[in-house]
Amino acid sequence: TTVAPETQFGTTSLYVGDLDLNVTDSQLFEAFSQMGQVVSVRVCRDSATRRSLGYGYVNVTNPPDAARAIQELNYIPLYGKPIRVMYSHRDPSVRRSGAGNIFIKNLDQSIDHKALHDTFSTFGNIVSCKVAVDASGQSKGYGFVQYADEESAQKAIEKLNGMLLNDKQVYVGPFLRKQERDSTANKTKFNNVYVKNLAESTTDDDLKKAFAEYGEITSAVVMKDGEGGKSKGFGFVNFENADDAAKAVESLNGKMFDDKEWYVGRAQKKSERETELRVRHEESLREAAERFQSSNLYVKNLDSSVSDEKLKEMFSPFGTVTSCKVMRDPSGISKGSGFVAFSTPEEATEAMSQLSGKMVEGKPLYVAIAQRKEDRRVRLQAQFSQVRPVAMPPSAGPRMPMFSPGGPGIGQQMFYGQAPPNMIPPQAGYGYQQQLVPGMRPGGRGPVPNYFMPMVQQQQQQQRPGGGGRRPGGIQQSQHQVPMMQHQ
């Protein structure tokens, strides 16, 4: 269940989170207009780069439409990424209080947003629910649930902490902000203090005198190169009492001694330092990779006459193009797609916003952030894992358009509605739009169900022996029910 804010405005104002960076205002409007009359939509963007921030707001006319949108659109995939829909809290103190917010870790990989919501909704009204995922859409093994009140959160913690979910024992506890987590970590008891940025003239006695006022010291040493050698610029002070050590760190860290600003902190074991350095290094590598990926654009629907030079000329007005290539087959014929890399993500974002849909040689360009093949494959797998068979009731109504994969005379399987991805060759100015929002018409005339239905193979009756002609309606189709696949 989901609770609404008390104000009339709050009941019609919705927050939409976890948006793919390619989702636009118009696509959000199309998705929510299925639930009722939409007053306004807005995908929030960086004021400088115009890059999507991954969330937005939708205002509808009636409170029942808002409630329906939350019930039916929560966790549905847009661009293969499940969105979160909740009532918008105008008061920032409500969002920042953390009341009713819990943290869950050690989740099984199979548990997604909806499964987590279904598990925890037993204990009270859920305002928001999220499983943390990586860039490829895979669960990181932890998540968050925000209840409407603290009592429900405490009840969930008491009942579910330590319980088995999909054969994995989960931890459920109060959510702590980063500052609170850091503060908790810093309260770890320790006696040994590490001091660095010491002056060359600082001796063991100087170090001991500087720390003596904070408690009983068992040892104080400045590290040197060999016996009687030059100071290495750091040292250690060991206290008898852990509280005295913590007091010294709090008081002396950042203080100036002999024109040097001291760093004073808990002394770490070598293994701890190595782990911390490795994590920092991996984080910097990941940030660099993400920055590069955000600077690289994929362009398709290019005319066959567009060369590398022409492509660079089109994109150069928006920044420094570091590389540019039109993809070609072994015979040198353009594949109609290419890549353009900029020096910064901001330049790439500007180029994408300005050139998407622009007509070049009579064709509208499709421009998006390039994805690695592995990420694209994982995302598509996640998207189509949402597809499940449902029965189609017999209907005498008009049939939907029918597609034959691969063109006339190729293949035996026919499809109603939108054909599955990769089954119909892309068509200039139209094919790429099919992939934008599952279940949305390219022309924007309203949604159609995104399903395909394999028909029972048609069979032609054999002529009767003796050369008799075919019966009227010689091509017949079985009347058996057939499975229909539909996106959730």
List pLDDT tens digits, range 16-26: 988 989 999 99
Residue 254 belongs to a domain: yes
- Within-domain flag for 83: yes
Question: Who wins on pLDDT, 420 or 341?
Answer: 341
33 shares its domain with 129 = yes
pLDDT attached to residue 48: 79
Q: Which of 10, 6, 8, 2 is nearest to 89 (CA)?
A: 10
Mean pLDDT, residues 367-387 taken together: 67
- Residues 3-13 have pLDDT tens digits of 444 444 447 88
Length of the chain: 488
Query: How many CB atoms are closer than 10 A to CB 373?
Result: 7
Q: What is the pLDDT of residue 182?
A: 56
**Shared-domain flag, residues 33 and 171:** yes
Domain-terminating residue out of 266, 285, 309: 266
Q: What is the mean pLDDT of residues 108-113?
A: 89
b/e string for 423-437 if b means 16 or more Cβ within 10 A? ebebeeeeebbbebb
Tell me whether residue 474 is in a domain. Answer: yes
Question: How many other CB atoms sit within 10 Å of the CB of residue 480?
Answer: 6
pLDDT value of position 187: 56
User: Contact 366/66 with Cβ under 8 angstroms?
Assistant: no
CATH number, domain of 238, equals: 3.30.70.330
Alpha carbons within 13 A on the beta-carbon side of 136: 10
Average pLDDT over residues 163-174: 88
Q: What's the pLDDT at 461?
A: 43
* 159 and 259 co-located in one domain: no
pLDDT of residue 327: 94
Question: Backbone phi, then psi, for 468, in 5-degree steps?
Answer: -65, 150
Higher pLDDT, 368 or 183: 368
Do 418 and 302 fall into the same domain?
no
Last residue of a domain, one of 129, 149, 182: 182
Q: Same structural domain for residues 136 and 259?
A: no
Percent of the chain with pLDDT over 90: 27
427 and 482 co-located in one domain: yes
Q: What is the pLDDT of residue 482?
A: 39
- The answer as to whether 287 is a domain residue is no
β-sheet bridge partners, residue 234: 196
Confidence grade of residue 191 (pLDDT, cut at 50, 70, 90): confident
Q: Domain tally for the chain?
A: 4
- Does 178 share its domain with 197? no
Whether 273 maps to a domain, the answer reads: no
Tell whether 239 and 118 lie within a shared domain.
Answer: no
Assess whether 392 and 373 both reside in one domain.
no
Q: Which of residues 377, 398, 427 is at a domain's end?
A: 377
Taking residues 228-237, report their average pLDDT.
87
Between 165 and 268, the higher pLDDT residue:
165
What does the pLDDT read at residue 282?
Answer: 77
Higher pLDDT, 338 or 476: 338
Q: Are residues 96 and 35 in the same domain?
A: yes
Residues 26-43 have a mean pLDDT of: 91
List the structure tokens of 72.
């039916």
Residue 333 pLDDT class (50, 70, 90 cuts)? very high
Same domain, 175 and 223: no
Strand pairing class (126-133; 139-147): antiparallel
Mean pLDDT of 215-226: 88
**Is position 53 within any domain?**
yes
Q: What is the pLDDT of residue 419?
A: 45
Q: Is residue 272 in a domain?
A: no
How confident is the model over 235-277, as pLDDT tens digits? 999 999 988 999 999 999 998 988 889 999 888 777 777 777 7
Query: Cα separation of 71 and 288, whole Å?
Result: 39
Buried b (16+ CB within 10 A) or exposed e, 331-365: eeebebbbebbbeebbbbbbbbeebbeeebeebbb
| Per-residue confidence band for 474, with pLDDT thresholds at 50, 70 and 90 | very low
Using the structure block, give the residue that is written with the tokens 């931890």: 171
Give the residue numbers spanning the domain of 121.
10-182
* Whether the model pTM is above 0.85: no
Query: How confident is the model at residue 163, as a pLDDT?
Result: 86
In this model, does residue 192 exceed pLDDT 60? yes
In a domain, 4, yes or no: no
Residues 109 and 258 in one domain: no
